[in-house]
Amino acid sequence: MNHEEQNKHFVLEAFETLFNKRDYSAAERFWSPDYIQHSSYIAPGREGLFDLVKAAPAEFRYENALAVASGDYVVLHGRFSGFGAPVNWIVVDIV
């Protein structure tokens, strides 16, 4: 597996661990205490992100549709569902 494939695997594992398994202790391995959240809808830092997931309904899930890696960047295109909104969130994350 080349460097870019390893990066994709790492990021997909991070999303699965936090958003679908809700294993916050394991997710700390992926999200630094200095994590910067760029969404104005989510409280700052790693704890803001974790708190968002903790507050979400049990049905909340992330489903990845596409993962693209270039150098040290990974771009994920997917959707969040089960959070009580009438429509899913279609998102692109660049990590």
Q: What is the pLDDT along the chain (95 residues), one digit of tens a residue?
A: 899 999 999 999 999 999 999 999 999 999 999 999 988 889 999 999 999 999 999 999 999 999 999 999 999 999 999 999 999 999 999 99
Can you give the pTM of this predicted structure? 0.93
CATH of 3-94, one of 3.90.420.10, 3.10.450.50, 3.20.20.140, 2.40.50.180: 3.10.450.50
Chain centroid offset of residue 59 CA: 16
The full DSSP string for 18-76 is: IIIS--HHHHTTTS-TT-----TTS-SHHHHHHHHHHHS-TT-EEEEEEEEEETTEEEE
Contact between residue 12 and residue 21 where contact means Cβ atoms under 8 Å apart: no
Burial of 60-84, coded b for 16+ CB within 10 Å and e otherwise, reads: bbbebeebebeeeebebebebeeee
